Amino acid sequence: MNIYLLQVINGIGIGMLYFLLAVGLSIVFGLLRFVNFAHGAFYLLGAYFCYQLTRWGLSFWVALVLVPLAVGAIGWLTEKLMLRHVYATAHEYHILVTVGLALAVQELVILQWGPLGDSVAVPDMLQGVVMWGSFVYPKYRLFVIEFTAVLAVLLWWVLEGTRLGSAVRAGSESTEMVSLLGVNVFRIFSLTFGLGAATAALAGVLAAPIRGAEPFMGIEALGVAFVIVVVGGMGSFSGALLGGLLIGIVQSVMSTLWPEGARLMIYVAMAAVLLLRPHGLLGRKE
């Protein structure tokens, strides 16, 4: 099979995971004007919670449902108890609080599960490959693509079709207006932050069978998430999708041409976007 086609499909798979990883960060920024440096930590927790649940004998599918809920709750609590207090201060402290949180979570993970990392098995029914003529592809990766596509549609529906979603979108424009309309903005903040954490954790769960759970994956994921959010546009759902796919495909194709350059290139892209079009490809101009 054509190696480039394979890499493009891989890229789409990675891209969809990237989308899932980044969409929470993007929406949180759009609403809370908050760059959450702890976002990678939620991804990390997702992978490790998944690992732990499977260790306890629960199936991957259970983890797929429970873990995002659990981490989402943690995110919700974090915003409510901790982050809310820094909104009034300078943006440096928002960033620093979440940096501290990310550090603490990483250490807690190492404390609990050790520094080396563990692997998570691909669920039984998704093991093996799919064969379609000359097209051979791992079942699990195909599942990831399909699942995240469905999830993307679901998220889109939540944002566009529900009251919560409307409140989030309106709040991204003006939290003052929204609160004047009688909506409890702080509740929305907490829920949105929780949702962001949940999607990151979900990405972690889906990524775990592919690359395992390892304590430093949080920092790595954070870097990539930043690139996607910047390129796609901070605060934009479709931007996260476009950015994720773009970066995923580019990275995947580059990995056959110039592996080390792949990572370098995405950060060059990030810097270029920040300089030339800081609101990203699909973001709103401030």
Partner 1 sequence: MNAVSKHLHFILAAGVVAAMPLLMQSGSLASEVLIFALAAMGCNLLLGYTGLLSFGQGIFFGLGSYTIALLLTRWPLPMPLALALAIAMGAAGAAVVGWVSIRQKGTYFVMLTLAFAQMFYFIAYTATGLTGGDNGLLDIPRPGIAVLGRTLWPLVTPWQFYGFVATLFLVAFWLLLRITRSTFGRTLLAVRDNEERAAAIGYDLKLLKLQAFVISGAVTGLAGALHAMMTGIAPLANAEYHTSEMILVMTVIGGTGNLFASVLGSAFYLLLGDWLSQLWPRWLLLLGLALIAVSLWLQRGLWGLGETLWNLGRDRLGRWRAPVAAAPAGGTGRAPGQGGQA
Residue ranges in contact with partner 1 by CB under 8 A: 33, 35, 82, 85-86, 89-93, 95-97, 99-108, 110-111, 219, 223, 226-227, 230, 260-261, 263-264, 267-268, 270-271, 274-275, 278
Cβ proximity to partner 1: between 19 and 226 the closer is 226
Distance set, CA 117 to CA 33, 103, 110, 122, 201 (Å): 34, 17, 9, 16, 17
Smallest distance from partner 1 to CB 226, Å = 6
Distance set, CA 86 to CA 6, 114, 124, 198, 261 (Å): 46, 32, 46, 22, 38
CB-based contact 283:260 (threshold 8 Å): no
Q: Give the integer Cα–Cα distance in Å for 120 and 26.
A: 28
Cβ proximity to partner 1: between 156 and 267 the closer is 267
Cβ proximity to partner 1: between 128 and 278 the closer is 278
- Of the chain, the end-to-end C-alpha distance in Å amounts to 46
**DSSP-assigned letters across all residues of 175-192:** HHHHHHTT--HHHHHHHH
Cβ proximity to partner 1: between 35 and 164 the closer is 35
Cβ proximity to partner 1: between 122 and 231 the closer is 231
Smallest distance from partner 1 to CB 26, Å = 13
